[in-house]
Amino acid sequence: MPSITILNGEETGRTYEWSAGTGIRVGRNAANDFVITNASVSGEHCIIEPCEGGWRIKDNDSTNGTRLNDQPITMAMLHRNDVIKFGDIVASIRGEDVPEAESNVESVESIPRTTIVMRPSDAATRPVDGFTKKSESKKLFNVIIVCAVIAIVVLAVMLLMKTSGNA
């Protein structure tokens, strides 16, 4: 017996089962077989119906679309544990009457293995940008700044002495 289980939203965990060989209508309207009350679901969102080889889902030009395994669809074949998105509502289809997807993935044992060897870098022996030794031009600039500050202080002291001597 096929079933759909809602995986998110206020109705998380709610499941709808139906008889093999019959289709269902999914949407927000009460006339549907599987009613989902979320505003992102259209009134007559989609149909799930039996077909040769299993089940197919057809979008009914819904406002927010129907997605199957995160791909937008107008019509597609369903497989056990597929993830269906009706607007913002995510659900999964299950059941013995729903065929399993054909596996296009090779077994893990058949995947070639690659070994990557990483040597420690010699970064510790190289200076990091911003932390290098001061260049000669920077040293000269610093000496000029210090001399200018000293000259300003000396002039300020002399000016104070001259004005306090006249007072």
Is the Cβ–Cβ distance between 2 and 79 less than 8 Å? no
Tens of pLDDT along the chain (167 residues) come to 899 999 999 999 999 999 878 899 999 999 999 999 999 999 999 999 999 889 999 999 999 999 999 999 999 999 999 999 999 999 999 988 888 877 655 555 555 666 666 676 655 556 555 555 656 678 888 899 999 999 999 999 999 998 887 65
pTM of the model: 0.59
Element (H, E) at 78: strand 75-78
Provide the 3-class DSSP secondary structure of residue 59.
strand
Rounded distance between C-alpha atoms, residue 165 and residue 128, angstroms: 55
